[in-house]
Structure 1
């Protein structure tokens, strides 16, 4: 398995060779710098740490500055580890989108969903509300209705779907097809929607096997 970090640019649509219009997400993937290569002897497991996105030096902690200096690179915004990295890399190498993605492959994309704040049950869980405004129901249209039992069990069960904070969660969308890779612009077009707002960081994992 390999992967790369990227920034979600937005959505568009392209035409397939068969003439079908397909909605896709545009991601600026890479270039990423290898900031650490972990081994079983030193770290207890094998992994490759990639860094993406520029960050000001004054906003970077001194231990991280030394970490980036060892890889001979500038401070980066995001660090992510990938296990079983197929591409053979060394400290300080640069990973391009063409190294880990090809058109026609299927990938998993990890992102942070849009935060929507505190929401009611209609928006959060798709409830239909209490119902019509007749029989005195003048202010209950978007309310949850009854939430518990009577004297037994005399409590509300854990996990009951109620109002609360919505969004801002780590979301993984699996098996999205790579429609097109544009290496000269570090762009990859992935079929369907990808979680997160524009300019948010996403992780692309593919399932390429070692040959």
Structure 2
């Protein structure tokens, strides 16, 4: 659970309360250690932490614009939120590529990666890692994360997740949407792949206004499918 808070000096922060129902605090130690080793413009800053008995919390910088999801799902976008053009989405995608998993934005729409959870940080030489439990959000995590028969978990699993996020940004919808009018459109990656093969991605297909926007969107689609 994440709460919005304010420090004595007036600075807003995001306070993440950790689940302490299992383990001996190792989850908290792992998360603090992982995040404290990172320093990057596209990674949300860990400002501090609290530990009192079984209560534990992480204090992050506050992202006033909320998450990326609030801006890319067209049917859920509220009138008071700005529409993001294909070029803006492309720039955000570049920022996403510089980090991992969950995104938030600051007031200048600079992508910020947040909520590491128990993300396991590995060196690039560790091509295959062992994970006792599958972690991540269904629809974004690679098959090998939850199905051991597919292969070992590696840095390539993050590439898969990145690709799924890019496709969702371009499509302006969840990659799996059972509420669409045609069954062929339920799984967006498969549906859009058919148009890529036919080289038939037109502006109206994605609700875009110009050929230039469509060109950028097509580039993002290709990257997403490659991932």
Relative to total residues, which structure has the larger helix share, 1 or 2?
Answer: 2
The structure whose RCO (Cα within 8 Å, separation 6+) is larger is 1
Larger radius of gyration: 1
Relative to total residues, which structure has the larger strand share, 1 or 2?
Answer: 1
Q: TM-score, normalised by structure 1?
A: 0.24
